[in-house]
Amino acid sequence: MDQINGIILRTQDYGETNKIVTLLTEEYGMLSAVAKGAKKSKSRMAAVTQPFIYGQYVVYTGRGLGTIHQGETIQSMRHIREDIFKTAYATYMGELTTKILTERERNRPLFRELLESFERMEEDVPELAISLMYELKLYHVGGFAPVVNQCVNGHVNDPIAGFSVSEGGVVCEQCRHRASDVFVLSPNVYHVLRLMSNKSLTKIKDVSIKDDTLNTIKQILELYYDYYGGMMIKSKRFLDQLHLF
C-alpha cells in the first residue's frame, strides 16, 4: 500500500458500483486505479473521487490497474464543478493530460502546474489563460512544443514577425514570407506567447491578458495541436460549443 497525493483527471464507470479513477500524482505520475463502491451516492469513496479533487489516497499500486482503499480530500475544487465553463476547461485539461502522458511516469513540475492551474480557476482567474499555459507545458512533456524563443530557422538576432504551424514555431521577418501559414504576431502577442511557454503559473502573480491576445494564441495552438498532436480530444467539442452561446 502507498499513500499518494493526486488530482483526479477523470472517472469512468466500472461494473455496477465501482469507478476507474485516473489521477495525476506527485509520486507516480499518471495512475489509474479502481475505487470500489464509488458509484454509490452515500459511499465515502464517492465523495473523495469527484473530478478535479486534490486528495490524499491509500492505493495498492501493484502491476496494472491499482486499487484505491481510502481517500481524504485536501482541496475539493468545488467551484470548478459548480461552473459549467470551469468544468469544461478542467475536463479538457484533464483529458489532454491523459492523451500526452505515459502511465506512471513521474513529473512533479507538471503535477504542481496542474494543481496551481486548478487553484487559480477556483480564484476566478480567466480559464482560457490558464488552459493555454498548461497546454504549452504539456507540449513540452510530449516533445512537440513550438519554438518560441527565437526564429525557428535559427536567425537569433532578427525580431520575431509571426508564427508558422508548419515550421513549428515563431519566424522572423525574413522567414515570414517563406511559409504560407504565418500568423502575424504583434510584439505584445509574442511576449505573452513566450511567457506562457516559458514561465510556470506558480511564478506569475497576475494573469491579466486581453481577450484578443488570448483568442489569437488559442487559434494558433488549436492548429498547432491538430498538426503535431493529432489525438482527438472529445471534451474539446463541448468546450467549443459553449463558446457559441
If DSSP codes are grouped into helix, strand and coil, which group holds residue 238? helix
Residue 75 lies in domain: 2-144+229-242
Per the domain annotation, does 102 fall within a domain? yes
pLDDT at position 245 is: 57
Per the domain annotation, does 209 fall within a domain? no
pLDDT at position 244 is: 66
| Integer Cα distance of 49 and 19 in angstroms | 9
Q: Taken in order 115, 109, 32, 97, is the CA torsion positive or negative? A: positive
Per the domain annotation, does 207 fall within a domain? no
| Integer Cα distance of 65 and 72 in angstroms | 20
Per the domain annotation, does 193 fall within a domain? no
pLDDT at position 43 is: 87
pLDDT at position 202 is: 85
Per the domain annotation, does 90 fall within a domain? yes
Name the pairing type of β-strands 2-14 and 18-25.
antiparallel
Residues of the chain with pLDDT under 50: none
Per the domain annotation, does 71 fall within a domain? yes
Per the domain annotation, does 9 fall within a domain? yes
> Total structural domains in the chain?
1
CATH number at residue 107: 2.40.50.140
Per the domain annotation, does 30 fall within a domain? yes
pLDDT at position 206 is: 80
